[in-house]
Amino acid sequence: MGRNGERLLLFCGIVIALVFGWLLVEQSPSSQSRPSASSTIETLVASQVSPGMTLFPSETEPEVYLFDILGRVRYRWRFVPQKIFAKKYFLFPFEVFWAEPSQDGNLLVVFKDIGLSLVNPESEPIWSLRGRFHHDAERAPDGTVFALSRREVPVSLFGRECLILSDFVSQISSDGKPVKETNLFHSFASFISEREYELACAYSLEQKASQRALLNDSPADLLHVNSLSLLKFTTSVGAHEGDFLVSSRARNAIALISRETGGLVWLYHGDLDGQHDATQIDPDTLLVFDNGTQRGNSRVLKISVAQKKIIWDFDLPFFEPFRSGVQQLPNGNLLVTSREQGKLYEYSPAGQLVWEFENPAPKGAKDKRIYRAVRIPVDSSFLALLKKTDSFQENSAVPFSSDPTVKKSRKPKKLSKTP
């Protein structure tokens, strides 16, 4: 063999070695736990992450994002106020408070204190309903919608009647027509002090004298209900599948409410502190993000309905005085939202941090915040239907930091320890 032939063989050998080496690196588990320099994923232990895509609404833009485990944007909804509600001006800022994925591929969107809308994958309304909806909404399998709303109502406590801002569970038909309301005030009224009620009455009189609305987070907001979930299982205390699980931040309490009668079935109060996002994870267990607003530390709790006590708690490595949330994933992991940090954490049942996402906005900026997020399983009909649309980014998905519609992220880091 001549010199040219030897050079050709050497060149081919180098190419084969490089390709083989690249394949080994790509397939190795360790490489899967190292995010790329442009990624918004700061920690990834791929073998332990619950598969699926994550969805959350922006707090500052009328948008909702869907992204994969590697932080790549797969879908984006953007809402035009005039198209959703056919109105040019609104009394309150146009904020997407929450977006609930539906099994038919549509999205149920809560616009804070403005209205509620079922939108299709093209961000167009199927139906819209005006009203002071807030925080949470859920669509039952038959298409019926249950949503938190609030409005001014007269109530009487301590021998005095005045106007307060009460919370309701609004029932809405599958085509967007109001059906009925469940007033939640009397379920929590026994935990309202006379002093709190006096302040609410004084504030109400002052606002009405100036012809102004009663606002949330004001003295008249005596409940501040911040989560609503339909029970997935019948309990041993008389609450049935389809009944309401609600969280009242102002009363530091969670309650089970009869969907049929609107009456209080069960209530837990005492060691909660500004809690959010209460859900049922089995017939006897509720999962809660306990903010610890006054206590100064946040934690995740599991509460036994039958025993009326905390049966498991997990102290978080961050403090969130307001908002945030938690979701139990199919493999038992917990997806935890840190609102002020603009971060999502996924923990294994053993407490190991297996996935961490940071919203790619300048650190400390308001638009970095994430109120709450939800992981959608890979086998869900919502994702299956969404993937059939032209807008779904199947092969050309890009990291948040490369998406021109999203702010750039700082360099990722790998945490050295987990709690």
> Can you tell me the mean pLDDT for 18-22?
40
> Can you tell me the mean pLDDT for 188-213?
97
Look at 33-42, 71-80, 240-249, 391-400 and tell me which has the smallest mean pLDDT.
33-42
Pairing of strands 244-248, 253-257: antiparallel
Residue 14 lies in a domain: no
Q: How many CB atoms lie within 10 A of CB 169?
A: 24
Predicted pLDDT at 364: 55
pLDDT at 281 over 50: yes
Distances (CA, A) of 168 to 133, 143, 190: 9, 19, 17
Look at 59-63, 145-149, 390-394 and tell me which has the smallest mean pLDDT.
390-394
Whole-structure pTM value: 0.85
Residue 361 lies in a domain: no
> Can you tell me the mean pLDDT for 24-41?
40
pLDDT band at residue 7 under the 50/70/90 scheme:
low
Residues pairing with 145 in the sheet: 139, 172
Q: Domain of 100?
A: 56-330
> Can you tell me the mean pLDDT for 242-247?
98
Give CA–CA dist 356/40, Å, rounded.
9
Predicted pLDDT at 69: 93
pLDDT band at residue 350 under the 50/70/90 scheme:
very high
pLDDT at 315 over 60: yes
CA R_g for the chain: 24
**Tens digits of residue pLDDT in 85-107:** 987 667 778 899 999 999 999 99
Predicted pLDDT at 4: 54
Tokens of 287: 């999962």
Look at 18-32, 91-105, 107-121 and tell me which has the smallest mean pLDDT.
18-32
Predicted pLDDT at 110: 98
**Tens digits of residue pLDDT in 48-87:** 999 999 999 998 889 999 999 999 989 999 999 999 998 7
Predicted pLDDT at 396: 58
Question: If you average pLDDT over every residue of the chain, what do you get?
Answer: 87
* CATH number for position 262: 2.130.10.10
Give CA–CA dist 151/168, Å, rounded.
8
Instruction: Name, in order, each residue with C-beta under 8 angstroms of 299's C-beta and a sequence gap of 6 or more.
Output: 290, 292, 313, 314, 315, 316
Predicted pLDDT at 40: 83
> Can you tell me the mean pLDDT for 151-165?
97
Residue 96 lies in a domain: yes
Residue 379 lies in a domain: no
What's the domain count of the chain?
1
Predicted pLDDT at 413: 34
Residue 299 lies in a domain: yes
Chain-centroid distance of CA 220 in Å reads 26
Residue 318 lies in a domain: yes
pLDDT band at residue 412 under the 50/70/90 scheme:
very low
Tokens of 102: 């539906």
Residue 411 lies in a domain: no
Residue pair 109/117 in contact (Cβ under 8 Å)? The answer is: yes
Predicted pLDDT at 37: 34
Nearest to 312 by CA among 334, 295, 329: 334
Pairing of strands 253-257, 264-269: antiparallel
Predicted pLDDT at 360: 82
Residue 304 lies in a domain: yes
Upper half-sphere CA count for residue 316 (Cβ side, 13 Å): 29
Give CA–CA dist 225/247, Å, rounded.
5
> Can you tell me the mean pLDDT for 262-276?
96
Predicted pLDDT at 405: 45
* Burial (CB count within 10 angstroms: exposed 0-12, middle 13-18, buried 19+), residue 247: buried
Give CA–CA dist 224/235, Å, rounded.
25
Predicted pLDDT at 395: 61
Instruction: Name, in order, each residue with C-beta under 8 angstroms of 127's C-beta and a sequence gap of 6 or more.
Output: 117, 118, 175, 176
pLDDT band at residue 391 under the 50/70/90 scheme:
confident
Nearest to 320 by CA among 303, 337, 335: 337
Predicted pLDDT at 5: 56
Predicted pLDDT at 3: 53
pLDDT at 29 over 60: no
Give CA–CA dist 394/53, Å, rounded.
12
Distances (CA, A) of 4 to 1, 13, 291: 8, 14, 72
Nearest to 53 by CA among 383, 408, 397, 419: 383
Look at 63-72, 323-332, 360-369 and tell me which has the smallest mean pLDDT.
360-369
Predicted pLDDT at 416: 31
Look at 88-92, 201-205, 233-237 and tell me which has the smallest mean pLDDT.
88-92
3-state secondary structure the chain: CCHHHHHHHHHHHHHHHHHHHHHHHHHCHHHHCCCCCCCCEEEECHHHCCCEEEEEECCCCCEEEEECCCCEEEEEEECCHHHHHCCCCCCCCCCEEEEEECCCCCEEEEECCCEEEEECCCCCEEEEEECCEEEEEEECCCCCEEEEEEEEEEEEECCEEEEEEEEEEEEECCCCCEEEEEECHHHHHHHCCHHHHHHHHHHHHHHHHCCCCCCCCCCCCCCCEEEEEECCCCCCCCCCCCCEEEEECCCCEEEEECCCCCCEEEEEECCCCCCEEEEEEECCEEEEEECCCCCCCCEEEEEECCCCEEEEEEECCCCCCCCCEEEECCCCCEEEEECCCCEEEEECCCCCEEEEEECCCCCCCHHHCCCCCEEEECCCHHHHHHCCCCCCCCCCCEEHHHCCCCCCCCCCCCCCCCC
